[in-house]
Chain A
Amino acid sequence: KNQVEQSPQSLIILEGKNCTLQCNYTVSPFSNLRWYKQDTGRGPVSLTIMTFSENTKSNGRYTATLDADTKQSSLHITASQLSDSASYICVVSARAGTASKLTFGTGTRLQVTL
C-alpha cells in the first residue's frame, strides 16, 4: 500500500530560525514528489516538485531534498517568517500506466512566533 508519512506533526519555531520538515514514503513506482504549502482555510499551493533524478530543488527560502534510495525527502525553511505559518504537505506521485496516482501526507503544521 502506498503511504506518505510526515514528521513532525506540528512544530513551533521563533521568527528568523531555520527548520526542517521530513517526508518518508513507500510509493511505487515513484514518479515525482511535491511539497505544498497550505495556509489555514486556503487551498494548497505548490512549492517544489522533484523527479527521481533530482536531489535538491530550491524556491526562495524553501529548499527540498530527495533521497530516492532511502525514499526520504525534506523541506528546509531558512530564516523563517511569520508568513511561513502554515501546513506543509508532501505528495508523492506513482506512475500508473498513462495515468498517475497521488498519495498525500497528512502534513506538518508549522507555527512561526515572535
Chain B
Amino acid sequence: EAQVTQNPRYLITVTGKKLTVTCSQNMNHEYMSWYRQDPGLGLRQIYYSMNVEVTDKGDVPEGYKVSRKEKRNFPLILESPSPNQTSLYFCASSSDPYEQYFGPGTRLTVT
C-alpha cells in the first residue's frame, strides 16, 4: 500500500530535550516536505527536499533541522524544542511539488 508514515504519532517532551520525528514514504517520490498546523493558521511549510541531499527552508524553518540521506526518509529534528513548537506536524511526499500525499500527523507537546 502506497503511504507516508510518521513516528511517533504522539509525543510529549520537555523544553530543550532533542527529538526526532521520522517520516518515510514507499512511493519513490523525489519531493518531500514538513508542515506544521496550528489552529487558525493553516498548514505552514517548515522545510522541503526536492531530492536526496537537497533541502531548503520553507516559511517557518527556525528551530528545525532536516536531512535527506535516502530517498524514502526525511526526518525532522528539533535540537532544543520550545513550547512554541507545540503543534501538529505533517510530512508529505510527491512526485512533483503539487500532488502532496500527507502522512497521518504527529502531535507534539513541549512543556
Contact = CB atoms under 8 A, between A and B. Distances in A.
Same complex for A and B? Answer yes
Interface of A: 31-32, 34, 41-46, 49, 89, 93, 99-100, 102, 104-107
Interface residues of B, number: 19
Contact of A104 (B4, B42, B99, B104): B42
Determine the main DSSP class of A at the interface with B. strand
Given A93-B97, A99-B50, A100-B97, A106 B102 contact: no
A64 to B, nearest CB: 15
Contacts of B4: 43
A42 B104 contact: yes
Contacts of B45: 102
B44 interface: yes
A89 B92 CA distance: 15
B41 interface: yes
A39 to B, nearest CB: 10
Closest A-B pairs by Cβ, 10 of them: A43-B102, A100-B97, A106-B42, A104-B43, A104-B42, A44-B102, A93-B98, A43-B90, A43-B103, A43-B104
B72 to A, nearest CB: 17
B60 to A, nearest CB: 12
A49 B5 CA distance: 24
Contacts of A31: 98
Contact of B105 (A42, A45, A93): A42
Interface string B47-76: 000100000000000000000000000000
A34 B45 CA distance: 16
B38 to A, nearest CB: 10
A89 B102 contact: no
A45 B99 CA distance: 10
